[in-house]
Structure 1
């Protein structure tokens, strides 16, 4: 047992030494191979030598490498000895070694299949039995490979079909939900329309009978209002002319209209005076107007469809109000009806606003060209707190303030400003204080921010901290003492009219083109810059913006809030964009104007967005529609025709609060008062 154990102990020892010897041999072989590889490298190109040539000093090189070297220098690249073209000779032995090395390398890197092919090509003897065995093995391998490939292909196809089925099922579910919304709304609208037609019919018949005197007792009691359903009390006793006066007094309550064709047919049946009844009921919309509105809807059908579905889906997915009885189907149906009607009502408001106007009409013009200035670009135009005054500023180095009512109501060749304040530099932006009526702020090309008193025509405060041109200034709507500015020095500065220096400084690392306070809070600020982004800040913590809105492809020239949660932006990429600052999402992109290099103005109200174009046009968008709803080209005036100059562009626009009236100015210094019209 001890001997066997002894022998047993010796075996692994011997084996280990053999392993060590084997590893030593492998190491030597590997080292020899590396040395060989090193020897066959050309000292010039460091690649395996091709067509090896040796020099008189005993070094070998690629033929092309050594000849190229000797054409420039007459020495050996390795030892530096003098060498000419005649002292270089072919190295036949090395070339044979290189060929063998290349073959060995090819063989060593070959696959087993390539080895077998090489083996057969070299004429190896293989018996028929061995060939049959190989063929059988290859056939089995082929069948197995085909089976695995087929299974893999089926798995991939099945996975694709499952994913496609899931996607289409989700689309079908969404489409079915949309169809259900549409069915419910179609039913609701048809009922409302029938009620309106019946109410109008009843009201027109009663008015007809009242005027004809065919039913003198009709006026006793009360009739239902077609618009509200409330009782309308007629006098119980009429005197001559009383009926007509009562009918005229009730004219405002009859807001619904029926088509003129059906109205004329009823006139023929009842034999009354259609002119009299038409005067009492008010003008009936013409069929041509309805057709024109329908064409506008069809032209923007895709956008309107998206708007409708968005509002209905949003209402359907909104949290339901808490029910008294969660198991009550009646309460659930009532909630569904209320939610549906709310979504439909929201869309109807959009549709009504969109179809209400189709053009911009000029109602007044102001020509304020300055003979002493070759350039009359109006860079900013703003209404005051009460919309009674508006101020203009630009490269003429003057702030001019006009009285709006005078401009609109008093015809004149030239309208003179009621206040004019000269400035030291060209002006880029204006902002009225929305609480202190006589205060207005300006920014200029020297980087100076000035607060003016319009009554005294003097500056109250001047801030000179900006190092370059200041593009934008804005008063806070919630704190009348706070204003903000942005400049080409890449700085946003917050100012207080009670202090002589800035109270806050934000370094943006890019040129600032526009700044705007959120109308709901003086803590939130939107900044548009040359880095193509909109930075939304909370001024209580300016280390980093709350959010950065990306999407514009060029500098952001303007930012304006349509509400405390919705922001509009303009860029020199010829687009406007709407953003939700509460959800930090992009809502819509608006296109249709041209803006590639100039500041063309941007103004918003709750429904519409106005901007200029470098085609000398004003474009008005409904914020739910991506294409312009109306536009007006300067040079094609409603008041008088004038020559058009395509080199000019719109430079400033401003809405008059929530009215359909707006101001627009162009690079010639012409200001137009425009109003949205059907």
Structure 2
């Protein structure tokens, strides 16, 4: 009941038997806490006595408490008087008072409604008139409470329905916009396809005319030699090329009669063969599209929505109304072209093919983990380093084009410690930097095979080193000592020191700046610094659940990161946005490599596989397994990968030291 109802049923306003008794209870409730403690609390347990017993010396206790005490000591706990079990008696009066005190305590803590219920349970009598008044009041209160509850429930239901309606309306608007994009793009693509079909038909007609003209003007057509053609040069050249090419690609020679029928049939056969190959490729590409349909759908809608919103957000100029139709067309064209480029790139390749393998000739057959592979600025040389305590530089063309049982490096430089990372100077082909397990950062001269600078400020293993792409004198390193250090090859000590408070696993310069830097560490985050104010990061990218092992810039605005949570993530470093999460490889404890180009991302896996992702699709587009299914290689993993510039070629190595040259293939 509310306060108004409670006020109407005050106990003192009622009369009848039991009234005086309840008043006594109320008087007892008014005792002070000190009196209550003195009268009813047991001196042993300090709780309200249960089954009060008194002693001959006049003290009262709980029966259980005093008996337990007398079993150990024969004296009164209060005064110390000698006392036995026979000198303890029940205190009936105190027990009655305890019952009343308990009731008073219950009344004191009860609500007005509970007090009224207790009053009735005590046997108080109420007249019929008073009962009618109470029932009428209670009925009114019930009606009012039901009305308020119904109104509240209806308000909640209405609010829910309105919110749901608004949400579904927004979804409907988005869906209608998506359908509008799809209708526009379907019409655009159908139109473009019709144009391509017409162009092919025109070319076929032109080719047939050229062949007919050539058959009429070519002497000695029967033996296919001594062609003297005076017809249309394009048609003649086409026929001659087709004759020559078709004859070379067949085991038996081809002869032509004066009507040139065999040539026509051969051309038709080649055309049918081309159509068959094209059809099979189209089927394979369609299967890949269906396998990744959800990701491609999301990518398409994202591109179209972003393009549309970017056009809508632009301020209108004076000729905005006149240009509206053109802008709408531009929106569709730009968004569709962006997605078409992604779709073409994604369906272009489906597997990784091995084109070469680097045989290093390890006579002891010891595992030789390769921890770093880097191409030079021209992509002609590549360097390898790892636990073998040696930097080896190979000529790529020799590795690919010259079969050999053992490939010898063109340069070999021994080091004092196991190496973790290499970085070529992007301006000086003869300089390469290394980081090692002792924490040393060394800059090497390839020509002299000697170190130029050696930095030994790191206190623990240095995991990563990177030369700036815009300033050839600057490089950066990260270490297990939780420090990021910036170096200048013209100075003997570090020029900047950043304390990350966590083990640093990777560092990378932004390719467009010598002062923007990404750092991945054991705190699960990527910190993006501007070295001109390194007191705090510009952005902190969160999302990985475990250590960030690699960071690589796809462009000046896009960053890829790898983690031992078996995911890759893409970030926009300008807008501080998470773009995409890529899953499909296994990486829980090892460094498995990460490399990027403008469209594709390659990484290793602890399943001894190389995985390649298109950056817009969350699942791998292609992969290759090292070893064979017959060999137990559960402990082997890919340790490093590296793209050869923007080409479809990848260098990859595993924990056994096997290095393969892989190329993306249809």
What TM-score, normalized by structure 1, do the two folds share?
A: 0.83
Residue 204 of structure 1: how far off its partner (Å): 1.2
Correspondence list, 1:523-672, <5 A: 523-636=515-628, 643-672=631-660
Compared CA separation, residues 93 and 247, structure 1 to 2 (3 A): farther
Correspondence list, 1:380-529, <5 A: 380-529=372-521
Correspondence list, 1:326-337, <5 A: 326=319, 328-329=321-322, 331-337=323-329
Residue 618 of structure 1: how far off its partner (Å): 0.4
The residue number in structure 2 matching 1:143 is 143
User: 1:431-487, CA deviations, whole angstroms, 9 ceiling, x for partnerless residues?
Assistant: 111111011111111111111111111111110000011111111111111111111
| Equivalent position SS for 2:355 | strand
CA distance in structure 2 between the aligned counterparts of 1:296 and 1:450, rounded to whole angstroms: 46
The residue number in structure 1 matching 2:210 is 210
CA distance in structure 2 between the aligned counterparts of 1:292 and 1:126, rounded to whole angstroms: 91
| Equivalent position SS for 1:273 | helix
CA distance in structure 2 between the aligned counterparts of 1:421 and 1:429, rounded to whole angstroms: 15
Contact residue 212 and residue 272 of structure 1 kept, 8 A = no
In structure 2, runs of 5+ residues without a counterpart are 1-26, 218-227, 243-260
User: 1:73-117, CA deviations, whole angstroms, 9 ceiling, x for partnerless residues?
Assistant: 998877889999888766555444332221101112222222222
CA distance in structure 2 between the aligned counterparts of 1:80 and 1:602, rounded to whole angstroms: 84
Compared CA separation, residues 395 and 88, structure 1 to 2 (3 A): farther
The residue number in structure 1 matching 2:130 is 130
User: 1:399-447, CA deviations, whole angstroms, 9 ceiling, x for partnerless residues?
Assistant: 1111100110011111111111111111111111111101111111111
CA distance in structure 2 between the aligned counterparts of 1:144 and 1:575, rounded to whole angstroms: 59
The residue number in structure 2 matching 1:189 is 189
User: 1:255-308, CA deviations, whole angstroms, 9 ceiling, x for partnerless residues?
Assistant: xxxxxxxxxxxxxxx998253367699944432221111111111111111111
| Equivalent position SS for 1:328 | helix
CA distance in structure 1 between the aligned counterparts of 2:535 and 2:415, rounded to whole angstroms: 35
Compared CA separation, residues 322 and 160, structure 1 to 2 (3 A): closer
CA distance in structure 1 between the aligned counterparts of 2:466 and 2:89, rounded to whole angstroms: 86
CA distance in structure 2 between the aligned counterparts of 1:249 and 1:52, rounded to whole angstroms: 125
Correspondence list, 1:33-48, <5 A: 33-39=32-38, 40-42=40-42, 46-48=46-48
Contact residue 525 and residue 542 of structure 2 kept, 8 A = yes
The residue number in structure 2 matching 1:108 is 108
CA distance in structure 2 between the aligned counterparts of 1:397 and 1:373, rounded to whole angstroms: 16
The residue number in structure 2 matching 1:4 is none
Residue 497 of structure 1: how far off its partner (Å): 0.5
| Equivalent position SS for 2:433 | strand
The residue number in structure 2 matching 1:347 is 339
Contact residue 353 and residue 662 of structure 2 kept, 8 A = yes
Compared CA separation, residues 437 and 119, structure 1 to 2 (3 A): same
Contact residue 389 and residue 418 of structure 2 kept, 8 A = yes
Compared CA separation, residues 642 and 400, structure 1 to 2 (3 A): farther
CA distance in structure 2 between the aligned counterparts of 1:574 and 1:649, rounded to whole angstroms: 13
The residue number in structure 1 matching 2:225 is none
Contact residue 369 and residue 670 of structure 1 kept, 8 A = no
Contact residue 375 and residue 396 of structure 1 kept, 8 A = no
Structure 1 stretch 532-541 or stretch 68-77: which is displaced more? Answer: 68-77
Kindly indicate whether residue 230 of structure 2 is the aligned counterpart of residue 239 of structure 1: yes
RMSD: 3.1
Contact residue 613 and residue 621 of structure 2 kept, 8 A = yes
Residue 143 of structure 1: how far off its partner (Å): 1.3
Kindly indicate whether residue 196 of structure 2 is the aligned counterpart of residue 200 of structure 1: no
CA distance in structure 2 between the aligned counterparts of 1:520 and 1:282, rounded to whole angstroms: 48
Compared CA separation, residues 608 and 47, structure 1 to 2 (3 A): farther
| Equivalent position SS for 1:174 | helix
Compared CA separation, residues 242 and 73, structure 1 to 2 (3 A): farther
| Equivalent position SS for 2:533 | coil
CA distance in structure 2 between the aligned counterparts of 1:628 and 1:532, rounded to whole angstroms: 23
Residue 568 of structure 1: how far off its partner (Å): 0.5
Compared CA separation, residues 214 and 412, structure 1 to 2 (3 A): closer
Residue 135 of structure 1: how far off its partner (Å): 2.1
The residue number in structure 2 matching 1:273 is 264
| Equivalent position SS for 1:35 | helix
Residue 354 of structure 1: how far off its partner (Å): 0.3
The residue number in structure 1 matching 2:248 is none
Compared CA separation, residues 359 and 84, structure 1 to 2 (3 A): farther
CA distance in structure 1 between the aligned counterparts of 2:103 and 2:650, rounded to whole angstroms: 86
Contact residue 352 and residue 624 of structure 2 kept, 8 A = yes
In structure 1, runs of 5+ residues without a counterpart are 1-27, 218-236, 252-269
Residue 129 of structure 1: how far off its partner (Å): 2.9
Compared CA separation, residues 94 and 431, structure 1 to 2 (3 A): farther
CA distance in structure 2 between the aligned counterparts of 1:535 and 1:561, rounded to whole angstroms: 13
Contact residue 70 and residue 84 of structure 2 kept, 8 A = yes
Contact residue 208 and residue 277 of structure 1 kept, 8 A = no
CA distance in structure 2 between the aligned counterparts of 1:604 and 1:524, rounded to whole angstroms: 19
Compared CA separation, residues 67 and 668, structure 1 to 2 (3 A): farther
Correspondence list, 1:28-67, <5 A: 32-39=31-38, 40-42=40-42, 46-52=46-52, 62=62
CA distance in structure 2 between the aligned counterparts of 1:200 and 1:492, rounded to whole angstroms: 60
CA distance in structure 1 between the aligned counterparts of 2:511 and 2:84, rounded to whole angstroms: 87
The residue number in structure 2 matching 1:359 is 351
CA distance in structure 1 between the aligned counterparts of 2:510 and 2:79, rounded to whole angstroms: 79
